[in-house]
Every structure is written in C-alpha cells, then in structure tokens.
Chain A
Amino acid sequence: MPTINETITQEIRAKAKELLESKEVAAFLGFCQGSLPMTTRPFVARSPEEADKLVWNSFCVLNPANYLPELLKSLEPPRGPRDPAPEGPLPKAALLATGCWSRNIAIQIKENQLDRDRVVIVGIASRGMVDQRKIRARFPDQEILKVEEQDHKLKVSGQNFEEEINRWDMVRGNCLTCLHPDPVMLDVRIGAAGQERKNDTPFQQVDEIKNKSTDERWQWFQDEFASCIRCYACRNACPLCYCDTCFVDDSKPQWVGKSIDPVDTGLFHILRAYHCAGRCTDCGACESVCPMDINMRILTKKLSMDVLALYGSEAGMDPEAPLPLSTYKTDDPQDFILSESGAAKEGI
C-alpha cells in the first residue's frame, strides 16, 4: 500500500511528463532527492525523462516560488537589454504549490515579478513539512542515516538504532500554526483538497515574547540572534527577497555593517523582517535553511500579526487585493503618533 506521499510523487511525475511532452511547459519546477538524509533539492525537469527524478515528501522545506522568476527569465530567448521583446507567447513553466507557496506566487504576480499566463500552478494541499532540527534534537548524539516515511509515522534509523516516531510531533512550527494548507490559486490539482484549519491562537509564539518587559525582550532579541553568522541564507531562500541590490550590499550609505557585531546582526534581522511586512506567508524557508538554528521567523510572524490586526489583510490570500503597504485608508490607526501634537488628538 503506497503512502500518501508516494501516491502524490507518482501523480506529480505523471503530470510533469504530460505537461512536458505536450510542450505546454518548457520546465517543471519541483523537488528531487537530496544527497543527505532528510533533505530535498529544488529541481527543474526540462524533459519528460527528467520528470522521473521528481519527489514529494515531508522534507520539501524550500519555497519553489523563490526560483520561479529566475527560471522564467532563463526560458526566454537570449536578448540584450534594449532589444524588443520576442513576438508570440513566451515559454511557460509549471511549479508545485502548497498554500503558502501559492500565496507567494500571488504576491509575485501583484509585484510584477511574474506573468500569470506563463505559470502553470500544480497545487498540492500541504500536510505540513517536517523540521529536521526537531528530529536531530530527538536523537542528540546519534547520526541519522535514513528516515523512512509513512503516513503518520517516521522511521528514523542510524548505525545502531531504529525508532518510529510520530510525524506530527516533528512538523515545523510554521506548519503547526498554518491555517491555509490548500493553495489559493491553482491550475492543476494533485492529491486531495485540503481543509482550512482552525486555530484560536495562531500567534501564540509572538504573544509569549510580547508579554515580556521591554528589557526582557531586548535580552531575548540579543540571545536569539547572537549566533548569526550573516550568511544570508534566510534572505536567499526567501521568495520575497528579489531586489537587485539588497540593503545589506549598499555601501553608500552603508545601512548595515558587514561584521557579526551584534548591532549589525540586529539591524540586519530587523530590516530583513520589516521588508517582508505584509508579504510574508510564513512558509518557513528562512528558518529551515538557517545553519545556526535561529528562529528569525518570529519577527515576520509578529509583522503578519500586526498587519492582520491593524490593516485586516493576510499576505497573498486575495490575489486581487492590493498589498497592505501599497495602499492606505484615511482612518488607519495612528495611536503611535504623539498625541501632544494638537490636531492628532482629533485623529485618535
């Protein structure tokens, strides 16, 4: 009896073959097996034969939307910066999308990074991705050589041990609190449709820190980000970070120093999170790629919480709506404005 993920893998391969054979798409963006246990790699199949390398399992933690704009650019015929666009429709690409990834695609379309007509969204309802940090923490002094997946169990084995653990206990924090596992937009569906989840306290993690005193929060911030080595993996894995020149690379003025001075690190993380305000879909790619196990997602989660509370929008949920920071209402909350300034009193 094949597991759910094995069935989905087969369906993905069949769909990818079909799309590539019919030349509807020039490339199919998904995942292939990684070289280490508990890893997958983003993978682009460009021929029906290559489609057999595609896999689907609980370790697809990267966000394929991150690679999509670049991929589409690479499919266009080469031309100089001033050459006119080629005539006729440009080649298309297909990609896998769960709830959060599809919302990222919606945002990229809104931000003119993507042409919807060139993308075939292959939607899959996410069952939550597994955090390999949690598995490693469960087996602290052992080397994990293999993790086999069943529907609700994970069989972890190494040199002298083999143990079955509950899959849901190992699922990433962002997937545990996820409310929308099903894609918001899709062209082709793989597997069964997902249900909207209910969670009364989706921002519990944020609240725990919010309830501390200012000094405690500062201490928490210092401790959490102290180990950062400024590798920028979190930025590079993020589908929202596509600026040609990132603020960390600016040298005149240099907003953030290049060192691992705690101030530079702190500024980097504040600004990185802030640039994702109203756009972050909590896909968790940043945390999953962090080599130092930093929980930087809490900052973007805090911003999502505020955007929802203050401006009533969730990133990418409504592909038609403008992004929260590219629009405004005349009666937006402004209680952070100094009330001493005469007329602001009226506004509050």
Chain B
Amino acid sequence: MTNQTSWEPKIIAFLCTWCSYAGADLAGVSRFQYPPNIRIVKVPCSGRVSANMILSALKSGADGVLISGCHPGDCHYISGNYFARRRFGLFSNLLDFVGIEPGRVNFSWISASEGEQFAEVVKTVTERVKKLGPATRLVKKQSVQVDRL
C-alpha cells in the first residue's frame, strides 16, 4: 500500500462450492474479464460463512469482502442459504451500525451458470471498494496475513 494511484484493493471472496465457485469457474472458462483483486476462499455453502470469518478477513487487512452463494431455493443443502440470509441480514446491519462503511462487506447470489454475472459482481465490488480506499476500520496493525495469500 504505497501511494493512492498504485493501490489495488485486496478482496476476500467466500464462494460456495456448488454455485458461486462454479460460476467463477465458468467466468474463467468463458474468458470473461474481471478485476484480479479477489482472492477466493472456497466454502461448502454460504451457510458455512460465519461472522468470525468475515471479521477475520477485515482484521487481517482485506479491503473488502464478498460472500456469495446459491440463489435462494437453489441451495445444494436445501436451506443453507436461507439461514445464511437471515444471519447476514442482521450482520450487515450491525456492521453498518458500528460504522463500517457500506460496500466493504458485500453479499450476492450467483449460480453455476452465471459466469458473466460473476464477472459483473466482481467488477462492481472492486469499484465500490476502490472508491472507499484502503480499509482502516477493524484492521489490526502489523498484520501481514493477507499479503501471504
């Protein structure tokens, strides 16, 4: 993170293995261009992603977080993303309440057939995070964990 012009955000993306990860795969196979700012963490289901994991990403210096799962109704485990939706709804409101900028933590639904949409979402998220600048809130100083990814 030297100066503003050369700064590129690091975004951690938690993608569910059945839909969003496959969507990312399709984006690659179909050669849709999207910004190289995301680091993907493959999770079994969006319901697997806990608040701890999101905050851990921020704490370790991620400038943005994206959580993506199957569309409601399409969950491989039938209802995982429905539970996740309730939890994330409350969590994103709580983050907003304590003053985390809207746009740092993003949620989306992407199916395995939506390669183009995946590229679109990554573009949107990257732009949002770029506009916000480097993360400063809830970032623990001297943390280098993200650099190793």
Contacts and interface: CB of A to CB of B under 8 A. Distances in A.
A, B co-complexed? yes
Interface of A: 206, 209-210, 214-221, 247, 253, 255, 257, 261, 263-264, 266-267, 270-271, 273-274, 277-278, 299, 302-303, 306-307, 310-311, 324-326, 328-330, 332-334, 336-338, 340-344, 347
Nearest to A337: B107
Contacts of B39: none
A311 B88 CA distance: 13
Contact of B89 (A253, A326, A332, A338): A332
Given A341-B109, A341-B110, A267 B59 contact: yes
| Residue picked from A219, A326, A337, A344, most chain B C-beta under 10 Å | A337
B98 A299 contact: yes
B139 A266 contact: no
Contacts of A206: 97
A346 B59 CA distance: 34
Contacts of A266: 98, 138
B56 interface: yes
- A-B pairs with lowest CB-CB distance, top 10: A218-B99, A328-B82, A217-B99, A338-B108, A341-B108, A221-B98, A263-B140, A255-B52, A336-B92, A342-B117
Contacts of B52: 247, 255, 271
A333 B82 CA distance: 11
A166 to B, nearest CB: 33
Given A214-B101, A270-B94, A338 B86 contact: no
A341 B121 contact: yes
A342 B114 contact: yes
Contacts, number: 138
Given A261-B140, A328-B85, A337-B107, A274 B100 contact: no
A120 to B, nearest CB: 34
Contact of A336 (B107, B110, B125): B107
B120 interface: yes
Given A263-B59, A340-B121, A330 B140 contact: no
A325 B86 contact: yes
B114 A341 contact: yes
18 contacts: A209-B97, A214-B102, A218-B99, A263-B59, A263-B139, A263-B141, A267-B59, A271-B55, A274-B90, A299-B98, A310-B89, A310-B90, A332-B85, A332-B86, A341-B110, A341-B114, A342-B117, A344-B109
B94 A257 contact: no
A299 B97 CA distance: 8
